[in-house]
Structure 1
Amino acid sequence: MQNQKKRKLRIRYALAFVMLLGIEVLIALFVHDAFIRPYVGDVLVVAVLYAAVRIVIPDRCRLLPLYIFLFAAMVECLQYFELVRLLGVADNAFLRVLIGSVFDWKDVLCYGAGCILLGIYEWKRK
């Protein structure tokens, strides 16, 4: 891929990253419902990760949605083993929110749904 095309893609992914991260922050701060925050937020978090990786690797990683899902599922499994407590950061609100502290299979399903959408995006893009 040409450098100029890669640069344009990186800029698009950087803008998408900033926009999606902003939406995630707004959801975390202002939405306290039973659907948007727990489900839409979890679907969007994999899109945020995808955009962040695509800034660095704008092409040639067609299995990226799968890798993102595996990473997200691994983080969720670490929550099952109470990683924040094991690391001694349970009192740090920022790290507790960033790492997560409660395992839930529904989160894994939301990550899967988000990654399926990303896979469809990858397929349509090619």
Structure 2
Amino acid sequence: MLTFNKNYFGFAILLFSIEVLIALYINDRFVRPYLGDVLVVILVYCFLKSFLKLPVLTAAIAVLGFFFTIEFLQFLNIVEKLGLEKSKTARTVIGTSFSWIDLLTYIIGITIVLIIEQYWHKKQMIKNSK
């Protein structure tokens, strides 16, 4: 079950770098709030697949469940309930406001993952059959 996949890890590092650049230099109404959420789902998926040999669907559902849980905790105002409202790190990592649109961005991110994985799998099957 434990493994190291350099391709997934490389994609995770690339996506993490993009996320950092977005956080540091972009403060708009589309890229940071929406594209950033789409990319972070893909980032976490790639990071998970870097170290765990899981089926694509299992990993995708786990990542989507994780992000839905975080969003639900935002709905419950967990940062305030834990007394972390003054912690910039907690407010950034956990977030402070529930949004239905965030759930949609997570679904879009996982959909992108599934499409790419399906394409990659077909490409590998064609390559191996030659």
For the superposition of Structure 1 and Structure 2, which TM-score range results when normalised by the shorter chain?
A: 0.7 to 0.9
Larger Rg: 2
Flag structure 1 segments of 5+ consecutive residues without an equivalent.
Answer: 1-5
Identity of aligned residues (%): 34
One-letter identity of the residue aligned with 1:28:
A
- Structure 1 segments, 4+ long, off by >4 Å, are none
How well do the aligned residues superpose, as a CA RMSD in angstroms?
1.3
Q: Counterparts of 2:99 and 2:83 in 1: how far apart (Å)?
A: 21
Q: Does 1:16 align with 2:11?
A: yes
Q: Counterparts of 2:23 and 2:106 in 1: how far apart (Å)?
A: 17
Match for residue 61 of structure 1? 55
Q: Counterparts of 1:53 and 1:74 in 2: how far apart (Å)?
A: 17
Match for residue 107 of structure 2? 112
One-letter identity of the residue aligned with 1:95:
A
Q: Counterparts of 2:97 and 2:54 in 1: how far apart (Å)?
A: 34
TM-superposed CA distance for 1:125, in Å, is 2.2
TM-score, normalised by the number of residues in structure 1: 0.87
Equivalent position to 2:38, from 26, 29, 43: 43
TM-score, normalised by the number of residues in structure 2: 0.85
Count of residue correspondences: 118
